[in-house]
Chain A
Amino acid sequence: MADNPEQDLTRETRLYLLLSAPQDINSMNLAVIKKILKEKDTPLIISLNQPSQVLVKSYAKEGITPDQYYVIDAVTYYSGGSCRPDPHIRYVNHPADLTGLGIAITEFLRQIPSSRKCIIFDSVSMLLIHIPTASASKFLHFVVNKLKISDVSGIFLCVENGLDPVILSQMSAFVDKIVDYEEIKNTLLPKQGP
């Protein structure tokens, strides 16, 4: 593994836990998807935070079109929104529906034609609103195993200090690296104009 985590983010099959301050988590999502697309990987976003309709709009503002990525949307139905059929979007009834999330991940990994896929799990912190840390830990272990078996990269977004030491120690065993977004955001985000 390279010393610079930004360099090998998604370059090979890698599993990362990416930590950020609460105010940076949405910009981190955006920066990560851009990086994945730049690496010619196909992103699959598991969104427990924003409805796909809003994600599509946010990404479009950055020039990312809906045919470039796939979304598992666990919050539109939860918000009483309309789940519009889309081949690139799968809806799960509730963020705590771990079975639904597991099935959607399995099916999408099978369905996405690209040989280079990378999931973005947004976010571990939001998952903890809905399920106890022990269940979250088991589920994340399941997802990581699924990705390893399928040779798929994964980036798990999390608010820094949003994990208890137990989960963090377990996650550090599952993932290849824990990265602080603050350390790499300058290399992920586009340079600001004068």
Chain B
Amino acid sequence: MVFDRIQTGILIIEPETHMIIDANDHAEALLGVKKDKLVGKVCHDFVCPAHCGECPITDQHKTFHNTERVLLSASGERIPILKTVAPASVGGKAYLIESFVDIRDRKRAEERKIALLAYLNESVLRIKNPLELTGQNLNQIEQQIGSGEYTPEEIRMQIRIQLNNIMAMAATLQDLAKKASEEREDIPDGFREFFIGK
């Protein structure tokens, strides 16, 4: 009863054969496979990409404790999970209890955070530094006016360039704010690589 109510997928696996002995409702839901189709099958077909004889637990003696992995559902969706595998003894017989938590929401939040950081970074680059340059250019124009060496048309052109640039920066800022508020997930690859090293 409790086994089927918790929001963690659980599979009970026989270590010698890697056969699934039991699965809870949440495991069924995440995998998209009914329990009767899971029980009696080997775990490699559902929750682990390792080949037979290369089981990371029983053959390579690795540990999984809240380790990030990907679950392949019956529909082909790759679901990010946190996986834990723990040995357990039931009625004197050894089993592996494989539990996994769906972390799609967390992943989406991480992606969103990266996207927002990317937009923030882009805003700084395309607004702050150009504004500093614009300030410097206006300072120079002021000196040119005082020098009397530049014609009114040359001064007007330069002021117009700075004005157009400020308007371009305002439009950029508006555009970036709009993209950020739209919760877009199209993070530029460069930023993705930079922020999460993938």
Contact A78 B161 (CB under 8 A): yes
Q: Are B150 and A166 in contact (CB under 8 A)?
A: no
* Interface residue ranges of B96-135 to A (CB < 8 Å): 121-122, 125-126, 129-130, 132-133, 135
Which of B10-18, B34-42, B165-173 is the contact stretch? Answer: B165-173
Interface magnitude class on chain B:
20 to 34
Q: Which of A53, A78, A134 contacts B190 (CB 8 A)?
A: A134
With a cutoff of 8 Å between Cβ atoms, the chain A residues found around residue B150 in the complex are 54, 57
A5 interfacial contact with B, CB 8 Å: no
Contact B158 A51, beta carbon cutoff 8 Å: yes
Query: Which residue, A51, A123, A170, has most C-beta atoms of chain B within 10 A?
Result: A51
| Chain A contact residues: helix, strand, loop or mixed | helix
Q: Which one, A81, A134, A169, contacts B157 given CB within 8 A?
A: A81
The residues of B with any CB-CB pair to A shorter than 8 Å are 121-122, 125-126, 129-130, 132-133, 135-137, 139-140, 144, 149-150, 153-154, 156-158, 160-161, 164-165, 168-169, 172, 188, 190-191, 193-194
Can you show 27 pairs from A to B with CB atoms below 8 A apart?
A22-B135, A25-B133, A49-B137, A50-B158, A50-B161, A51-B158, A61-B149, A78-B164, A79-B157, A79-B158, A79-B160, A81-B156, A82-B153, A126-B133, A126-B165, A128-B126, A129-B165, A129-B172, A159-B133, A161-B129, A162-B133, A163-B125, A164-B122, A165-B194, A166-B190, A166-B193, A166-B194
Binding site for B on A (CB under 8 A): 22-23, 25-26, 49-51, 53-54, 57, 61, 75-76, 78-82, 123, 125-126, 128-130, 132-134, 137, 159, 161-167, 169-170
